[in-house]
Structure 1
């Protein structure tokens, strides 16, 4: 099999399926410009330009600023993601012009001869042309958990992956024509990570839209009916409607996510789905696969312990390791000690290693059939070496049994030697596990290794419950019973890939948010089903394909940073949501009061622009990006409503009361509106103070600066003229101050009673 020639490659269609890590430039522009709120604001701005004073059209700049900031931030995130995605892409082994070479996935062409080994992900559809015990897992496509043995002539589909053996296939469908590309964009049938935050904000916007339409109509009708001047009526109606719209909420959420992606990208963390950042904050159970996560990649052959004399142990080990064209870490460790198999040991039949079997083997003609695998899987308890292997496992070593066998269907192995391999603990593992313990994140170690060996590793790392390892072969299949055992234990050995998936489901059924880390093909199914799948950068291509987060530097110590970033994003978005929705609710309540009672609206659009910029827009930008150690809590939507509704109602009542009191005097409408603006600023500024708690030095400077800017606006004649402010009535100003102080006290009491006061 020579593969394609260079000329054939140049003429063939390429595998140009889109990456799923980021949106296109046009999609980013469309998402930030063509929104419902931008359309509403644009129409209202046009009305002001036609019927009102141009100064009141300042709010129209919100569209420009929102769109530009959103586009720039998301483009930064897109650039970071696309660069990391290229780093993360596993090269594809192809044969061209008779030579094997590795190429980027997007350079695969129709008709390419693609070579396969354990852990390889199939990026395109094709037909098998060579098979050496090739086993492919198609569960991500079909739901069937059992690997499928593939022979020459069989079809293979993109989205599947190799679990054992090796082989080659010819690409018959690439790019958008491939099966997986028709299901999603690339690797498998999985959707976006679930996001309570995204769902909650979508719900807020839907409800607010339903409220804005009737309340806005009532306010518009009321202002037109009660005002002699049509321009004044339109100005008042626009002021109320614009204030109801939380135009910056989606923007701040997007910025927080995008900046989180960029920050994690600097740490060599690839976030393949943006909502996964939120999942980082909610995780309360972290399932770890020992090998590759707690232990570093690779192993060293330690001891070979003969169990009977006169057996060609060294030759058999060398031949077994040499018979595997794509050796796993175990075979690589043996090869390092026994690099040259004897010339007359030629494999006539092989069974590759798989996590489900936990052994591999080969037949060598007159030299017999040999198998190498887990002693507690291959051997009965009374067999030679069984007890000794168990004792060796207590040291944390990986122990294998080398056996002669009668065949592969019913091996009935005869033990010849024990082989021990030393695993290298990650130097940062203990400190990282201690971090999760402090954060009340429960760690579950689930491994395919001997439970005793896993227990020894867990104990050396100080994992609670490490001395009570459970053999997964004894576990019940009932999810409820399994979940109860999982909640009470920490370390599990001899876990099959299907059981890892069952573990994740059982923990989720008990209300846990589960993250799963791994690097091998045996982790793929569990990674896919977990609330958050985290793959190591050195892991198999299939593992990295289904994970939402990839640690490209392959460092377990990066995990605390990843979790902390998720918590920062979530806590800060909740803060800014409190600000924006307080504004929305006070505008709705105020519009209802004005509309029902038939009064002039208390302020103009320029007033709301000024107050919103100083108490929401500018502070929200800093709060959305601030560092924080807050833990994530479920119940985002009800908690924000418990804060925003009472705060918004009290703000609206305070503004209405001060404006009504001012209107009963002899002051002008401009002076009365100035009174309302002072009340509105002071009450919403106090909301900002409560949201910003705890008041670190920089937050104190931030809220003090906003107060100073508002005071400066009154001090300068130009800004007083531009914003139509006339604080000429001392009585009205004192009323505004008194009402604001009372409202601030009520807001503090309300958020304390509802349990939303930050400490």
Structure 2
């Protein structure tokens, strides 16, 4: 409903709407009813798999065969139906997996109703609801601030401006922005499709098959194939009609027989299936892939930037020591307890303090607060004691609050070297809103915190090291402390941590330091982003993991962003991969899945494009030599099924741990071109010899059969090369395809159906001899290619 069609909303009630008011708005349809879409709709999936360029081409050719007959030459039409059905079924399975995972990871903002805050699904929010905000929370609808306590909102997803915006009551908030500091509440002024959130969700959670080197490369190849088909088709139909004087039906069949094998129709399908099955496999491990190419992208990554907190360490922390610097321990503990009580949305460090000192605030009352910010590295509070005296307190990183060389920093470094986190509680002499509040502070106590290491972190880091993927720990904590944690996990280079405050500003200079180091502390959110950009400028494919608001900018700019499921809504919105089980150890599974997809699609692409090359070459040779095209469509359907279609399906889904290599098109074509040329020339030579041998005997079927035998044997050797390294099932796969062709040759009704007839002994053995010679050439070429870098 539009704004002018409803009365102006009353002044927002801080207690939120009543149940009756919610029901009234639901009846008017003022609900945030935008569905969470993690994938294409069922209709889009069906359309996307049915209405493709190649289905259109092959569909037209199939209709031509239906008219010209016989139907045996239109077998490829039934293959189109089967392939399309497989594609639809697999993507629907992937959609079901994604949809269920998206519900698990869906944001549940805290909404006040009848005076009670409770988490609700975004689809249950109605107009004028009062929604609470805290650090890391995402604004899911548009609204207007009604409460603000140091509230700072990052609107970079909307405006591109990285600096957070301070919000006060009456200021607007836009869906898609997120809180970086402070807390507050706002009323919903736009819900449903009127809110910007509808557009953001559509873009951030879409099931997509774009921006992939594999798919881009395949599309590029297929575009060239499509343009080649037009002149070849014209040449073939002219040659068969006017040179060979075939009747139009035979000319059309021969033309279609020459065109159909040029189209690698199964290649796009297999790529989609491989990606979709990857999503299903990762979904079983509680890994939500928000963009399919992220599987491929992470497999190509050579540098992983890790945020220590939440990635290498668990979210929880424990207070292990309170070292009093001024006063007594009871006094310091009461201040810390009051500090904790003053923050409604404590971070992990403050939560550990709250757990350690739940009571005993001793009459302290908070009159003002400054929430923790990753840019500031400290938080503050103005506390009034039981006697009415107000004092300003700061809690944060000692090396930020204290000047360099301060005697207390020596003890901090000692704790940091053991992997402990240290916070300084200090009394300030100036008010919180004074920009120089840190000047002249009085240290009161040091709070020593111990982080909990993830049990699987060390094994995961070892995996990346074995795969030649460089791991960089980038944290806002003290560099020495971060280095100690990384050293416990046996990360190479952890004993030489770098303080990011001393990093050079220039991108090239920064990149040199980054390539040489492994651990970086005191990194600001903007520096994280700059570090990702510096590594990318050196040609690195960078993945960034994180769970906090301070990681969002770097996650957005990284080649692949990985968020923890327990992380802030902002990080999950911009990440391509969300680890719903919060386990860093899931990343190797994503890398392995990506390598399986890339390696296997590259492998089967060699099969499909070898066929394309020899098909184009055979068509050109037929036009040049002015002879009948040697094959009917049914012959090439049989060959494609046994040497490409069935084997490619199994090979595309097989385990594959080969490291992902760049330059997909170049790597495939350097194999397919020589292999296709050898297969095409050998087949055409067999055909010419057979024509001479059977000339005048009316044995066109015999000539075609000899050429088919040669092409099958050569294609089987190409398959044998592609299937390496051999395992028992790959050997059986190759043998089964050979037995399938043999069954056609020895079964009378199959001979008649496929018009295959081996006449005499000289012609067939000549075909076998040429195929053997060609296979030797294939083997030599393959060995030469495999020894040379791509």
What's the TM-score, normalizing by structure 1? 0.97
Q: Is residue 37–residue 99 contact of structure 2 (8 Å, CA) maintained in 1?
A: no
Q: Secondary structure at the match of 1:754?
A: helix
Matched, 1:647 2:675: yes
What's the TM-score, normalizing by structure 2? 0.94
User: What is aligned with 1:266?
Assistant: 284
Q: Secondary structure at the match of 2:772?
A: helix
User: What is aligned with 1:347?
Assistant: 366
User: In the TM superposition, what is the alpha-carbon distance from 1:757 to its structure 2 partner?
Assistant: 9.1
Q: Is residue 287–residue 515 contact of structure 1 (8 Å, CA) maintained in 2?
A: yes
User: What is aligned with 1:333?
Assistant: 352
**Structure 1 stretch 206-215 or stretch 249-258: which is displaced more?**
206-215
User: What is aligned with 1:491?
Assistant: 519
Of 360, 376, 380 in structure 1, the residue corresponding to residue 379 of structure 2 is 360
**How many angstroms apart in 2 are the aligned matches of 1:137 and 1:558?**
29
Correspondence 1:3-14 to 2 at 5 A = 3-6=16-19, 7-11=23-27, 12-14=29-31
Matched, 1:24 2:45: no
Q: Is residue 521–residue 543 contact of structure 1 (8 Å, CA) maintained in 2?
A: yes
**How many angstroms apart in 1 are the aligned matches of 2:98 and 2:358?**
41
User: What is aligned with 1:375?
Assistant: 398
User: In the TM superposition, what is the alpha-carbon distance from 1:756 to its structure 2 partner?
Assistant: 7.7
User: In the TM superposition, what is the alpha-carbon distance from 1:228 to its structure 2 partner?
Assistant: 2.6
**How many angstroms apart in 2 are the aligned matches of 1:636 and 1:327?**
48
User: In the TM superposition, what is the alpha-carbon distance from 1:345 to its structure 2 partner?
Assistant: 1.5
Q: Secondary structure at the match of 1:476?
A: coil
User: In the TM superposition, what is the alpha-carbon distance from 1:330 to its structure 2 partner?
Assistant: 1.0
User: What is aligned with 1:404?
Assistant: 427
Matched, 1:97 2:114: yes
Of 75, 84, 102 in structure 2, the residue corresponding to residue 67 of structure 1 is 84
User: Alpha carbons of 1:298 and 1:541: their partners in 2 closer, same or farther (altered >3 Å)?
Assistant: same
Q: Secondary structure at the match of 1:607?
A: helix
User: What is aligned with 2:477?
Assistant: 449
User: In the TM superposition, what is the alpha-carbon distance from 1:597 to its structure 2 partner?
Assistant: 2.3
| Cα deviation code 1:575-616 (max 9, x no counterpart) | 111111111111111111112222111111110110000001
User: In the TM superposition, what is the alpha-carbon distance from 1:183 to its structure 2 partner?
Assistant: 5.9
User: In the TM superposition, what is the alpha-carbon distance from 1:393 to its structure 2 partner?
Assistant: 1.1
Correspondence 1:64-213 to 2 at 5 A = 64-182=81-199, 185-187=202-204, 194-213=211-230
**How many angstroms apart in 1 are the aligned matches of 2:477 and 2:772?**
66
Of 739, 742, 752 in structure 1, the residue corresponding to residue 773 of structure 2 is 742
| Cα deviation code 1:179-225 (max 9, x no counterpart) | 25446725599998742112111111111111112212222222222
Of 240, 252, 262 in structure 2, the residue corresponding to residue 234 of structure 1 is 252
User: In the TM superposition, what is the alpha-carbon distance from 1:14 to its structure 2 partner?
Assistant: 2.8
Q: Secondary structure at the match of 2:265?
A: coil
**How many angstroms apart in 2 are the aligned matches of 1:438 and 1:260?**
23
User: What is aligned with 1:596?
Assistant: 624
User: Alpha carbons of 1:5 and 1:318: their partners in 2 closer, same or farther (altered >3 Å)?
Assistant: same
**How many angstroms apart in 2 are the aligned matches of 1:743 and 1:79?**
47
**Structure 1 stretch 336-345 or stretch 76-85: which is displaced more?**
336-345
Matched, 1:630 2:658: yes
**How many angstroms apart in 1 are the aligned matches of 2:397 and 2:74?**
75
Matched, 1:568 2:581: no
**How many angstroms apart in 2 are the aligned matches of 1:8 and 1:155?**
25
Q: Is residue 289–residue 517 contact of structure 1 (8 Å, CA) maintained in 2?
A: yes
User: Alpha carbons of 1:317 and 1:187: their partners in 2 closer, same or farther (altered >3 Å)?
Assistant: farther
Q: Secondary structure at the match of 2:450?
A: strand
**How many angstroms apart in 1 are the aligned matches of 2:207 and 2:690?**
60
User: In the TM superposition, what is the alpha-carbon distance from 1:149 to its structure 2 partner?
Assistant: 0.5
Of 269, 281, 285 in structure 1, the residue corresponding to residue 303 of structure 2 is 285
Size of the aligned set, in residue pairs, is 759
User: What is aligned with 1:753?
Assistant: 784
Of 41, 58, 62 in structure 2, the residue corresponding to residue 45 of structure 1 is 62
**Structure 1 stretch 4-13 or stretch 733-742: which is displaced more?**
4-13
User: What is aligned with 2:506?
Assistant: 478
Q: Is residue 36–residue 201 contact of structure 2 (8 Å, CA) maintained in 1?
A: no
**How many angstroms apart in 2 are the aligned matches of 1:227 and 1:536?**
69
Correspondence 1:660-675 to 2 at 5 A = 660-666=688-694, 667=697, 668-675=699-706
| Cα deviation code 1:655-707 (max 9, x no counterpart) | 11111110112250011101111111111111111111111111111011101
Q: Which runs of 4 or more aligned residues in structure 1 lie more than 4 Å from their structure 2 counterparts after TM superposition?
A: 186-193
Gaps of at least 5 residues in structure 1 are: none
| Cα deviation code 1:233-278 (max 9, x no counterpart) | 1110001111111110000000000000000011111100001110
User: In the TM superposition, what is the alpha-carbon distance from 1:476 to its structure 2 partner?
Assistant: 1.4
Q: Is residue 159–residue 187 contact of structure 1 (8 Å, CA) maintained in 2?
A: no
Q: Secondary structure at the match of 1:400?
A: strand
User: In the TM superposition, what is the alpha-carbon distance from 1:18 to its structure 2 partner?
Assistant: 4.9
Q: Is residue 264–residue 612 contact of structure 2 (8 Å, CA) maintained in 1?
A: yes
User: In the TM superposition, what is the alpha-carbon distance from 1:156 to its structure 2 partner?
Assistant: 1.1
Q: Is residue 269–residue 551 contact of structure 1 (8 Å, CA) maintained in 2?
A: yes
User: Alpha carbons of 1:145 and 1:604: their partners in 2 closer, same or farther (altered >3 Å)?
Assistant: same
| Cα deviation code 1:426-450 (max 9, x no counterpart) | 1111111111111101000000000
Q: Is residue 39–residue 206 contact of structure 2 (8 Å, CA) maintained in 1?
A: no
User: In the TM superposition, what is the alpha-carbon distance from 1:370 to its structure 2 partner?
Assistant: 0.4
User: Alpha carbons of 1:183 and 1:107: their partners in 2 closer, same or farther (altered >3 Å)?
Assistant: closer
User: What is aligned with 1:294?
Assistant: 312
| Cα deviation code 1:543-579 (max 9, x no counterpart) | 1111111111111111211111110111001011111
| Cα deviation code 1:414-434 (max 9, x no counterpart) | 111100111001111111111
**How many angstroms apart in 1 are the aligned matches of 2:745 and 2:194?**
65
User: In the TM superposition, what is the alpha-carbon distance from 1:108 to its structure 2 partner?
Assistant: 2.1
Q: Is residue 120–residue 540 contact of structure 1 (8 Å, CA) maintained in 2?
A: yes
User: What is aligned with 2:411?
Assistant: 388
User: What is aligned with 2:558?
Assistant: 530
User: In the TM superposition, what is the alpha-carbon distance from 1:178 to its structure 2 partner?
Assistant: 2.1
**How many angstroms apart in 2 are the aligned matches of 1:477 and 1:32?**
49
Q: Is residue 56–residue 605 contact of structure 1 (8 Å, CA) maintained in 2?
A: yes
**How many angstroms apart in 2 are the aligned matches of 1:220 and 1:39?**
20
**How many angstroms apart in 2 are the aligned matches of 1:544 and 1:712?**
55
Q: Is residue 401–residue 418 contact of structure 1 (8 Å, CA) maintained in 2?
A: yes
Q: Is residue 39–residue 205 contact of structure 2 (8 Å, CA) maintained in 1?
A: no
User: In the TM superposition, what is the alpha-carbon distance from 1:4 to its structure 2 partner?
Assistant: 2.6
Of 728, 734, 739 in structure 1, the residue corresponding to residue 759 of structure 2 is 728
User: Alpha carbons of 1:159 and 1:23: their partners in 2 closer, same or farther (altered >3 Å)?
Assistant: same
User: What is aligned with 2:445?
Assistant: 417
User: Alpha carbons of 1:446 and 1:687: their partners in 2 closer, same or farther (altered >3 Å)?
Assistant: same
